[in-house]
Amino acid sequence: MLTHAQIWTALDRLASRSGLSASGLAKRAGLDPTTFNRSKRITPDGRARWPSTESIAKALAATGTNVDTFVELITDKSHRPSHAVPVIGFAEAGAGGFFDDAGFPSGTGWDEIPFPAVNDEHAYALEISGDSMLPLYRDGDIIIVSPSSPIRRGDRVVVKTKEGEVMAKELKRRTAKTIELKSLNVEHGERVFAVPDVLWISRIVWASQ
């Protein structure tokens, strides 16, 4: 007998193996982005809400996955263990309330994505939207950010400024006074900030490609 948890776990695994969040999988399948979100899996009165056959079929078609493989995702006991990593859209990250002063995820509004082998308990995921980071990151890609990882010159990083701007860049140079950032898209210029104007800077440790 199939359970509610097994079906949703299989959808999470399907999203993860495709380098997507639950909302990213829904968007790729042509569904409302919230279709597979955890908040939609239980009704307001506490009853289990099942995904529709149509939504599962569209998710399989969008990822090129056959039914047999989906059944394996339901029953696979050897699937690599993972833990839930909080995820929001990159465009939302600049809004207030999503990060504390150290750059750790906080507050409500985060979804979750299963992801294996993340050693930083404060790690989180951002889902790229739009084409501003091409060719490196495409619309729908997921990046994993580790606030606790050491940062070196040449690392790809996420930076939040005092003005509330959140951006993904390459760390070109950091001195006692300034932080120089190289854009991932050659059409955008480099940015230079005084150290006091940067609230936090965190390393990107993984990206779906």
pLDDT in tens, the chain (209 residues): 688 888 988 898 888 878 788 888 999 999 998 899 887 888 878 788 899 999 999 999 999 999 988 988 887 655 555 667 888 889 889 888 899 888 989 888 888 877 766 778 889 999 998 888 888 888 888 899 999 889 999 999 999 999 999 999 999 999 999 999 999 988 888 999 999 999 999 999 988 86
Q: Which residue has the tokens 């829904």?
A: 26
CA angle, 71 then 76 then 80, to 5°: 130
Burial of 46 (0-12, 13-18, 19+ CB in 10 A): exposed
Q: What angle do CA 84, 78, 113 make, to 5 degrees?
A: 15
How far apart are the C-alpha atoms of 98 and 27, rounded to whole Å?
23
22: which residues sit within 8 A by CB, 6+ positions away?
11, 12, 15, 36, 37, 38, 111, 112, 113
Please name every residue paired with 124 in a beta bridge, in sequence order, or none if there are none.
145
3-state secondary structure of 114: strand
What domains can be seen in the chain, in order of their start residue?
A: 4-75 (1.10.260.40), 83-207 (2.10.109.10)
What is the reported pLDDT for 51?
93
For 39-165, list the strands marked E by DSSP: 83-89, 111-115, 124-127, 142-146, 156-161
